[in-house]
Amino acid sequence: MTDAVGSIDMPDAQDEAPESKKARKGGKRGKKGPLKRLALFYRQIVAELRKVVWPTRNQLTTYTTVVIIFVVIMIGLVTVIDYGLSNAAKYVFG
């Protein structure tokens, strides 16, 4: 007895791979040597880095300032909470 989805014993039709096709070895990349593949890799890196929109100096200064202020605020918050909890523990446990 099987349900509409199938069972573990009987896989769905889409899960079965056709046996008539042979697996290709490497495709186009398999024909190139390791140095050519490495050169292609670096060319692709340079092409992707050219697509990046780099921030201006003003934006970078603003972002850095915001991050530093946020970190200082979080350090202060954690310090206050830690000080409060340590005093509470001293009060409770003597």
| pLDDT per position as a tens digit, 22-77 | 655 655 555 778 899 999 999 999 999 999 999 999 999 999 999 999 999 999 99
pLDDT attached to residue 32: 79
- Which DSSP state fits 28? T
What is the signed CA dihedral for 74, 77, 81, 83, rounded to 10 degrees? 100
How many Å apart are CA 70 and CA 76, to the nearest integer?
10
Q: What is the pTM of this model?
A: 0.49
Residue 14, pLDDT above cutoff 70: no
Alpha helices by DSSP H, listed for the chain, are 34-51, 57-93
How far, CA to CA in Å, does 57 sit from each of 39, 48, 53, 62, 66?
Answer: 32, 21, 13, 9, 14
How many Å apart are CA 6 and CA 3, to the nearest integer?
5
Contacts of 55 (CB under 8 A, 6+ apart): 63
